[in-house]
A and B are shown apart, each in its own frame.
Chain A
Amino acid sequence: MMSFISYFINGLSLGSVYAIIALGYTMVYGIAKMLNFAHGDVIMIGGYVVFTVVSTMGLGPVAGILLAVILCTVLGVVIEGVAYRPLRMASPLAVLITAIGVSYLLQNIALLVFGSNPKSFTSVVTVPALKLADGKLTISGETIVTIISCVVIMIGLTTFIKKTRAGQAMLAVSEDKGAAQLMGINVDGTIALTFAIGSALAAIAGALLCSAYPTLTPYTGSMPGIKAFVAAVFGGIGSIPGALIGGLLLGVIENLSKAYISSQLSDAIVFAVLIVVLLVKPTGILGKKINEKV
């Protein structure tokens, strides 16, 4: 029983990372209507920035995360402005191919700068592990911090969108760019802001992910990126609570399958569940279409 709880909590923690990454996918999809396949690689860049600041320069983890957030935010805005903005009127396929290109570009830049040898990442978490049930259940500091971060980010983002002018502009742009512009909203600026937020979250996800799984290579971001994308689709792409539910479910399913079924098959199981969910509900768990009444 204790081991089940422990697998479950670890699944929640992994799922929290997926959820934070999935937010980036889902917000960009919701607002710019594109799949930013380079999103996973922004996580990896965030990981390397933290690694460089903490392990090479010897500064504290807070400085590392802060710098990673700043650099990834800038990176996200630059990627959007240079690679995606000129393609706003182009076919979705052209945008998708460009996004894959950007993904390879980031991986190769990392390969060039940091080499292909895995770096061993020093955890940014200093919170001690929690021992429960007379020491039979241990919850690591990383797990605690990751889950709390996810909750804080979700509440913060939801409040931002609901309460601020910029957040309402994001909702308007996600529904109808033309009508949003007619309200006086700067559509390009709003899309850039969305990339900025998604990339800042990717930096945080990178630090958390590398703290829990401390090997860092130029490909560290791809698999979590793909899984977070699956989580976003799972929960209903475009939906913020959907990203949370999708991420958590994915993390728990993955961890429980690893523990009780097969660690080789866990990814296959995750994708099988996705296929079943999409067969039953093509828009994902929380995805919805509002029908216009005339």
Chain B
Amino acid sequence: MAILEVKNLEVYYGVIKALKDISFEVKEGEIVALIGANGAGKTTTLHTITGLIKAASGNIQFDGHDITKIRGDKIVGMGMAHVPEGRRVFAALSVYENLKLGAYTRRDKNEIEETLQMIYKRFPRLLERKNQPAGTLSGGEQQMLAMGRALMSHPKVIVLDEPSMGLSPIYVNEIFDIIQEINKSGTTVLLVEQNAKKALSIANRAYVLETGSIVLSGDAKELMNDDSVKKAYLSE
């Protein structure tokens, strides 16, 4: 069953049409990758889903609700967390305070504490640095914090925008391992990546976005062997 379903989505920046009639779905338990070149509209798609941008037309269904017109801050509480491009941790706040803000929509103190301990276990480096301002962390650590912060809301679906961007190869592998772990523990993943090879290697299915339109979709393994995908996105 589709937990997230996007239908005929159109988004404008002023008069420029950034998304042209986009439709796709994410089923419960899946890792779905959205790949495409710089400027294709991947970030715009995610921003529209989590309510940072309003759609001009189209429809977004999440977990049985129409969230197209719902205020962005309410969507988090419904179970969708967004790890934004460029991480956007709160630099002046400590690692711990960042994580606490991730649980902003939750009220039960004991449950929040439980999730916190789980996240410290998954990201031991965040525990070591819990009192340090987030701005002093390395890029890879900030990415872990951004992911941990999103997980603090205990989401059903997590959307990740280029989590590997600007990271050293060791961190890239670690981040992709963690994404798989998160998925195995029951969270559905929508993953946006320019690193198509890596993304396709962990995804179940994928969509290819080109200048605001979905031009190709299918099983991730099949797409990896598709000639046009190979040529455009997988060439080294």
Chain A residue nearest to B51 in the complex (CB): A181
Give residues of chain A (129-186) contacting chain B, Cβ–Cβ below 8 Å: 165, 168-169, 171-172, 175-176, 178-186
Chain A residue nearest to B89 in the complex (CB): A179
Chain B residue nearest to A186 in the complex (CB): B73
Chain A residue nearest to B91 in the complex (CB): A290
Segment with Cβ contacts to A, from B32-40, B132-140, B223-231: B132-140
A292 and B91 form a contact (CB under 8 A): yes
Q: How many residues of B contact A (CB 8 A)?
A: 34
Chain B residue nearest to A294 in the complex (CB): B139
Give A178 to B71 CA distance when docked, in angstroms. 12
Identify B90's interface contact among A175, A184, A186, A294, CB under 8 A.
A175
Identify B88's interface contact among A165, A176, A187, A294, CB under 8 A.
A176
Say yes or no for B148: interface residue by CB 8 A criterion.
Answer: no
Say yes or no for B205: interface residue by CB 8 A criterion.
Answer: no
* B135 neighbours in A (Cβ, 8 Å): 290-293
* A178 neighbours in B (Cβ, 8 Å): 52, 84, 88
Q: How far is the CB of A1 from chain B (nearest CB, A)?
A: 43
Chain A 103-131 interface mask (CB, 8 Å, partner B; 1/0): 00000000000000000000000000000
Identify A168's interface contact among B81, B97, B138, CB under 8 A.
B97
Give A181 to B104 CA distance when docked, in angstroms. 10
Contacts A182-B50, A293-B137 given; indicate if A171 touches B104 (C-beta within 8 A).
no
Chain A 235-250 interface mask (CB, 8 Å, partner B; 1/0): 0000000000000000
Say yes or no for B127: interface residue by CB 8 A criterion.
Answer: no
Give residues of chain B (101-141) contacting chain A, Cβ–Cβ below 8 Å: 101-102, 104-105, 133, 135-139
B133 and A179 form a contact (CB under 8 A): no
Give A168 to B98 CA distance when docked, in angstroms. 9
Give A292 to B91 CA distance when docked, in angstroms. 7
Give A290 to B136 CA distance when docked, in angstroms. 8
Say yes or no for B29: interface residue by CB 8 A criterion.
Answer: no
* B71 neighbours in A (Cβ, 8 Å): 186
Give A93 to B84 CA distance when docked, in angstroms. 29
B73 and A187 form a contact (CB under 8 A): yes
B105 and A184 form a contact (CB under 8 A): yes
Chain B residue nearest to A165 in the complex (CB): B104
* A172 neighbours in B (Cβ, 8 Å): 90, 93, 101
Say yes or no for B42: interface residue by CB 8 A criterion.
Answer: no
Give A182 to B81 CA distance when docked, in angstroms. 7
Offer 5 A-B interface pairs, CB within 8 angstroms, sorted by A: A165-B104, A172-B101, A181-B51, A290-B91, A293-B135
Binding site for B on A (CB under 8 A): 165, 168-169, 171-172, 175-176, 178-187, 290-294
Known pairs A172-B101, A182-B84, A184-B76; list 9 more (Cβ under 8 Å): A179-B88, A179-B89, A182-B72, A182-B150, A183-B153, A184-B153, A185-B73, A290-B136, A291-B135
